[in-house]
Amino acid sequence: MADPTDSGPRASRGRGRPKLGVVGREVTLLPEHWAWLNRQPGGASVALRNLVEAASRTAVIPSRSPATPQAPQALQAPRAPTPVVALPAGLRRVIPAEKQAAARRCLAAAFGAAAIEAADLMPGGKPGSAIVIRLTVRAAAPPRETEYLMRIEGPSSPVRDTERHYACLRIAAAAHVAPGLVHADARAGIAISEFLTPMAPADLPSRADRIRAILKRLKRLHAAPLFPPGPPYTDVIDSLLARCRASGILDEHAVREHLALYARLAAAYRALATETVSSHNDLNPGNILFARQRAWLVDWESASAADPYVDLAALTNGYAVNRYDEEMVLRIYFGSQLTDAHRARAFLLQQLNRLFCALKLLNGVAAGTPQTRLTAELLSAAPRFSEVRQEWGSPATDRGRLRLAGVVLEEMKSSLQSPRFAEALRVLASAD
């Protein structure tokens, strides 16, 4: 394995190594890849072997054509079981009992004999969501402490597919869009990744520079190998809407006009031809982390192959405060190829994304505080979206989530009642 940091002459290979089952190969990586590998417990070789073994256990493998060579028989041989480690008391208190055996296996696969020095539950969890734990791990050789995040998935749902989620996570981490992935077991619903220390608010770049940094990551993501397919965006929204109705959180009379406008919007969108890229699908500011002088995308449970405008719409809703900012997003992404049809389609997806986010908020409220209802009175009292934009992606309480959901629904209704909606439909119809 050739490390670019080693510029010295190569020693000749001894005859004994192949007999041990280890065959030397050269691996070409960028300097940041080597930097990450060398920080892992056991060093680069151990980290690479762990990643390959983890991927071979849980990766989604594309179907092979008859002409594609099959994997060597040696790679299909049964492996010895992964050792199981004891959970520190701090982890036993926060990991559900039914997940503890799987957690021990994943920790052993990720860190081997390295000691877990500390485990802290991360704030912000909601009922039915993932449990996220910050780990401090001490490696023996060389001795050092490194921090990681262990994510334990919540219950499955129609829009939460762990197999797809982890397949997307692997691709995103390999593309350096998501934090480095140490271990992921889709069957257990447990993933362990690098912990990145967020930049202090005072050190963050300007809003315009943050938009540019996110778009740089987004273009890299959209050019990555294609994620597994997921349900169409409007099907996801319909599923979220059905859950809201089942919980009783929606006052159907209060949102009757909103839903009538959505029906018209969904019909127009479904009539459009759609290309797909590797898409995050939930790119609100709470899922964007600035660390190490760049933007990182986190929380990939909604990811799939999808319309690239889904991510563009989420970025616009989260960061663009006016039409100038919206235009900047599209100009950076499309460059000289930007047309009125791009603008029109982006406007449609911006409204779909608002409904998606509002329904996710409402489902979170319904899980945490049953019997809550979004009433006509709450909607009529909702402030303008511009007044609560700073809460987008991170409302701290169920009351705040309910309020923000109402604001976003009202913003969607206002946009779809404006001449801009009719103009977007006209532009897209003439572009076909």
Q: Which residues of 286-300 are buried (b: 16+ CB within 10 A; e: fewer)?
A: bbbbbeeeebbbbbb
Which stretches of the chain score pLDDT less than 70?
1-36, 38-47, 49-85, 124-128, 156-159, 389-396
Q: What is the distance between the alpha carbons of residues 266 and 355, in angstroms, rounded to a whole number?
A: 11
H/E element holding 34? helix 31-39
Q: Please state which of the four CATH numbers 3.40.640.10, 3.90.1200.10, 3.40.980.10, 3.40.50.300 is assigned to the domain occupying 201-431.
A: 3.90.1200.10
Both tokens of 416, joined, read 């779809």
Report how far apart, in Å, the C-alpha atoms of 329 and of each of 15, 309, 319 are. Answer: 57, 11, 9
pLDDT of residue 73: 36
pLDDT of residue 160: 73
Q: What is the distance between the alpha carbons of residues 186 and 60, in angstroms, rounded to a whole number?
A: 10
Angle at 393 between CA 389 and CA 395, to 5 degrees: 80
Q: Given phi > 0 = left and psi -120 to 50 = alpha, else beta, which region is 322?
A: beta
Q: What is the distance between the alpha carbons of residues 347 and 309, in angstroms, rounded to a whole number?
A: 9
* CATH top-level class of 89-194: alpha beta
Q: What is the distance between the alpha carbons of residues 71 and 68, in angstroms, rounded to a whole number?
A: 9
Q: What are phi and psi of 22, to 5 degrees?
A: -105, 120
> What residue segments make up the domains of the chain, in order of their start?
89-194, 201-431
* C-beta of residue 166 within 8 angstroms of C-beta of residue 186: yes
Which residues are 151's β-sheet partners? 132, 191
Q: Which residues of 107-119 are buried (b: 16+ CB within 10 A; e: fewer)?
A: bbbbbbebebeeb
Q: What are phi and psi of 118, to 5 degrees?
A: -155, 150
Strands 131-139 vs 144-152: parallel, antiparallel or unpaired: antiparallel
Both tokens of 109, joined, read 């696969």
To the nearest 10 degrees (0 to 180), the angle between helices 398-416 and 419-431 is 60
DSSP 86: P
Both tokens of 113, joined, read 């004999």
Q: What is the distance between the alpha carbons of residues 332 and 346, in angstroms, rounded to a whole number?
A: 14
Q: What is the distance between the alpha carbons of residues 222 and 241, in angstroms, rounded to a whole number?
A: 28
pLDDT of residue 83: 53
pLDDT of residue 88: 78
Residues 6+ apart with CB under 8 A from 295: 210, 213, 214, 216, 217, 288, 289
pLDDT of residue 235: 95
H/E element holding 278? strand 277-279
Q: What is the dihedral of CA 166, 170, 176, 181, to 10 degrees?
A: 80
Task: Read off the pTM.
Answer: 0.77
